[in-house]
Amino acid sequence: MRVGVIGATGAVGRELVEVLGRRRFPVTKLRLFASGRSAGTRVETPFGPVVIEEFSQDRARDLDLALLAVSGDFAKAHAPGLVAAGVTVVDNSSAFRLEDAVPLVVPEVNAAALGEAKLIANPNCTTAILVVALAPLHAAFGLKRVIVSTYQAASGAGAEGMTELERETRRVLVEGEPARNEVFAHPLAFNVIPHIDTFQPNAYTREEMKVTWETRKIMGLPDLPISCTAVRIPTMRVHAESVTIETLRPVTAEAARAVLRAAAGVRVVDEPARNLYPMPLTATGQDDVEAGRIRANPVFGDHGLDLFLCGDQLLKGAALNAVQIAERLPALQVPA
C-alpha cells in the first residue's frame, strides 16, 4: 500500500511511523505530510529516509491509505476530499467518531463494524484503553453500569504537552522557579488537574463525555450508564484508569482475572503480594493494556468489581489502534 502519515511530526504521527515499521505493515511507499514549517526535512524511518512534504489534498490523492494525526478541524476539512479521491482514511481526531456512517473501531472489540468503510475513526485514547478490558467483561458477566476515574499522561496533549511537563519539572527542580504553563490549564508538574478538554453544559468535561459516548458506540450499548472523571497527572505517556463495574450476572475477581487473561490486547498484572500491578512505568512502550488490582467491589456485592488499567496513550490509545484498524482493511485480507 502507498501509505501517508498526515501530521507526521507530532507525537502520534511519529509513533505511527514506528508502529507501521515494527508491525511490518505492507508499505510500498511511505509519505510523510506536515505543515510548511517541516516540509523538506529528511527523516529516517523503518522504510528508509523520507522527506517531509507540505500537506495538500492534491499531493495526497494517490495514496491508498492516509493515517491522520491532525486536529478535528483539519480532519473535517480534508478527510472527505481524500476519501472522494479513493484514499482510505483512518482518522485519529474526534471529527467523525460519533457519525452514524463512520465506524469507530477498536479491533479487539468491534472489528466487524469496519465493513467496507473508507473513512474510519480511531477512538479517544482513554476510551480505547478502557474498552479492551470492558468488552470481555461485558461478554462474560454483562455490564449494568460503569464508573471510571482517569489518571492521564501529558502525551494526551501531544508533543507540546510532554515538552511542557519536562520544562516545568526542570524549572522547579533545577532552577528553583515556579512552574509556568501554556498547554495545560495549570502547571502540571507536581500537580493533578481535574480538567481535560472543555467543560460541557452538564458540568462534565468533553474528555469525560467522550468516554461515555464512544464506549457506548464501540460496545454497541447505547444506553450503558457510564460516568467518568478525567484527570491529568504528571506522567509522560501512559493513561491509567480506575474502573468500577456493576454486572448483570454474578462476578468474582478470580473469574474476571481468567476472562481478562484470555482477552486480546490485555495483560493481567495482578500479584499484589509481589507488588505487581499496572503502572505507567511498566506499561510504557507496551502494546497490551495492563489490568490489575482486580477485586470484588463491596458496594455491589457479588455483582461488582474494581480494577485498574494502564495503557500507552500513544500506542493502544492512538497509533497502534490506528494501524491495527488498517491491518483489518478488506484490501489486506487474503481471500478464504
Q: Is 156 annotated as a binding residue?
A: yes
- Any known ligand binding at 324? no
Find out whether 155 is annotated in a ligand binding site. yes
324 binds ligand 2RA (CB under 6 A): no
Cell triple for 211: 468516554
Q: Does 125 bind ligand 2RA (CB under 6 A)?
A: yes
Which long-range contacts link 283-288 to residues 24+ away (Cβ below 8 Å)? 283/238, 283/310, 283/311, 283/312, 284/236, 284/237, 284/238, 284/312, 285/312, 285/315, 286/312, 286/315, 287/312, 287/315, 287/316, 287/320, 288/316
C-beta closer to ligand 2RA: residue 183 or 276: 183
Q: By C-beta, is 151 or 308 nearer to ligand 2RA?
A: 151
* Residues 207, 74: Cα–Cα separation, whole Å: 19
SS3 52: coil
Residue 278 in 3-state DSSP?
Answer: coil
Marked catalytic residue, from 125, 228, 303, 310: 125
Taking CB under 6 A as the rule, which mask of x and - marks residues 195-224 in contact with ligand 2RA?
-x----------x-----------------
Pick from 9, 122, 126, 247: which binds ligand 2RA (CB under 6 A)?
Answer: 126
Kindly determine how many residues on this chain lie close enough to bind ligand 2RA according to the rule CB under 6 A.
Answer: 8
Q: Is 195 a catalytic residue?
A: no
Closest CA to 278 of 226, 318, 238, 233: 238
Would you call 138 a catalytic residue per the annotation?
A: no
Nearest to 303 by CA among 335, 239, 262, 255: 255
Going by the DSSP 8-state scheme, the letter that residue 253 receives in this structure is H
DSSP-derived 3-state class of residue 175: coil
Per-residue mark of binding to ligand 2RA, 143-182 (x: CB under 6 A): ---------x---xx-------------------------
Among 9, 88, 124, 247, binds ligand 2RA (CB under 6 A): 124
Q: Which residue is nearest to ligand 2RA (CB)?
A: 156
Quick one: residue 120, left, alpha or beta (phi over 0 = left, psi -120 to 50 = alpha)? beta
**Which residue among the candidates 78, 138, 239, 303 is catalytic per the annotation?**
239
In the complex with ligand 2RA, which residue's Cβ is closer, 3 or 128?
Answer: 128
Which residues are the active-site residues? Answer: 125, 239
Q: Which residues bind ligand 2RA (CB under 6 A)?
A: 124-126, 152, 156-157, 196, 207
